[in-house]
Amino acid sequence: MEKLFLIKYGELNTKKANIGLFLKTLQKNILDALKDIDVKVVFDKGRMYVKTAEDNFLIVKEKLQKIFGIYEIAIGYELETNDFTLLEESLIELLKDKEFKTFKIETKRSDKSYFLTSPLINQKLGGTVLKNIKDVRVDVINPDLHINVEIRKTNAYIYFETIKGLGGYPTSTLGKGLLMLSGGIDSPVAGFLAMKRGVKIECIYFDSPPHTSIEAKNKVLTLANIIGEYQGNIKVHIIPFTKLQEAIYKEVPNEYMITIMRRMMYRISEKIAHKNHCKIIVNGESIGQVASQTLDSMSVINEVVKMPVIRPVACFDKLEIIALAKKIKTYDTSILPYQDCCTIFVPEHPVIYPSLDKCLEYEQNFDYESLINEAIKNEVIIKNNEKQNDYSNYL
């Protein structure tokens, strides 16, 4: 008997016509995630199996738990036959080390020509367990031990333990999106949720040195790396935003500064998205959370772009977002106290119901187009784990 991981993909089974593309991407993502570990990955109809040395089980388990598209992971044992007598013997062998008083057997039979039906296998194997293991009984409602058996054409599997996977669609199946990533709590969660729907994420960060610190930027890069683990690698576009921000500070009335600043961020994001074949913009806006996220603000800001803007946390309240941030391990980094460009120029009374006409009027005050082009020209792209220590290449 060989110990191995059985991988199940739940929702993907509903993708009838496109299942091939989804599964191919999942296979690739699993192979990529495990490329540094000595494993054998077997792809079979409806299941994937990962085989590796016992020493690697912990790390493989951790990695599989970070792959979208996997619904459940079971750690089990493979028999290279589906002979019933051998199955009985193997099960008893495995149960010798287990402590339990009650059990339940559940069988799945993908080989429909097998000589016993699933209920009959449950019955017969149940009898074998009762005969061979002392002081145990069947409890189908709340058993100490779930015994799962799968019968396939040429082999069989037994497993006791299942772990929930992340679910969702395999990363990349839906193409790419550009995540506006700030150092806050909301945007990393938004990125994670978009990835869960099969969107591969690249990030964009608006950096305003010297008004924002190197720590603030490194915090964003750390957040990118944390969510990047859920898709294998991640790219961050760092956009020098200082000149635009200073121009806004000088030329725009106080209460409209944030609205105009966000219109600039959206304009740049759309251009960077187009350049990098991203089909959507993703951000961490949540309805009503701050002045720039009222419905009026959102429409005046959104008005500058044509590309769909997806806001995965739009309808979550802060506590729900925080709970998710803790789960995906971005929270502790997000709450580090470095200011980003939004917090530094926050006016005392930002407009809550901005008018589009006023935005257009104030934007006449300065040549934002060339500042946008300059910022894009000077973007710095960071892949994965690189951190930067100085601004010399774009100051």
Kindly list the residues in this chain that would bind ligand ATP in the complex (CB under 6 A): 180-182, 184-187, 204-206, 283-285, 289-290, 292, 340-342
- Distance of closest approach, residue 289 Cβ to ligand ATP, in angstroms: 5
Contact 22, 170 (CB under 8 A): yes
Residue number, 185 or 244, with CB nearest to ligand ATP: 185
Could you say whether residue 184 binds Mg ion (CB under 5 A)?
yes
Residue number, 98 or 387, with CB nearest to ligand ATP: 387
Distance set, CA 55 to CA 39, 52, 194, 196 (Å)? 11, 8, 34, 30
Could you say whether residue 188 binds Mg ion (CB under 5 A)?
no
- Distance of closest approach, residue 391 Cβ to ligand ATP, in angstroms: 15
Residue number, 148 or 292, with CB nearest to ligand ATP: 292
Could you say whether residue 182 binds Mg ion (CB under 5 A)?
yes
- Distance of closest approach, residue 262 Cβ to ligand ATP, in angstroms: 7
Residue number, 182 or 333, with CB nearest to Mg ion: 182
Distance CA 307, CA 304 (A): 9
Could you say whether residue 293 binds Mg ion (CB under 5 A)?
no
Q: Diameter of the chain by CA atoms? A: 88
- Distance of closest approach, residue 377 Cβ to ligand ATP, in angstroms: 18
90 binds, among Mg ion, ligand ATP, none (CB under 5 to 8 A by kind): none
Q: Nearest Cα to 354, choosing from 283, 271, 256?
A: 256
Residue number, 4 or 201, with CB nearest to ligand ATP: 201
Q: What are 78's two structure tokens?
A: 């493979």
User: Which runs of consecutive H residues, i.e. helices, occur in 105-154?
Assistant: 118-132
CB-facing half-sphere around the CA of 221: CA atoms within 13 A: 19
Distance CA 85, CA 18 (A): 40
- Distance of closest approach, residue 319 Cβ to ligand ATP, in angstroms: 14
Burial of 326 (0-12, 13-18, 19+ CB in 10 A): middle
Q: Nearest Cα to 90, choosing from 143, 157, 37?
A: 157
Residue whose CB is nearest to ligand ATP in the complex, by number: 184
Could you say whether residue 312 binds Mg ion (CB under 5 A)?
no
Kindly state the number of chain residues that form the binding site for Mg ion, as judged by CB under 5 A: 2
Residue number, 161 or 317, with CB nearest to ligand ATP: 317
Distance set, CA 56 to CA 5, 51, 232 (Å)? 11, 10, 19
Residue whose CB is nearest to Mg ion in the complex, by number: 184
75 binds, among ligand ATP, Mg ion, none (CB under 5 to 8 A by kind): none
Give residue 229's identity as a one-letter amino acid code.
E
- Residue 311, Ramachandran bin (φ over 0: left; ψ between -120 and 50: alpha; else beta): beta
292 binds, among ligand ATP, Mg ion, none (CB under 5 to 8 A by kind): ligand ATP
Residue number, 74 or 313, with CB nearest to ligand ATP: 313
Q: What are phi and psi of 285, to 5 degrees?
A: -70, 145
How do beta strands 176-180 and 278-282 pair?
parallel
Give residue 227's identity as a one-letter amino acid code.
I
Using the rule CB under 5 A, give the single segment among 2-10, 175-183, 239-247, 270-278 that binds Mg ion.
175-183
Q: Enumerate binding residues for Mg ion (CB under 5 A).
A: 182, 184
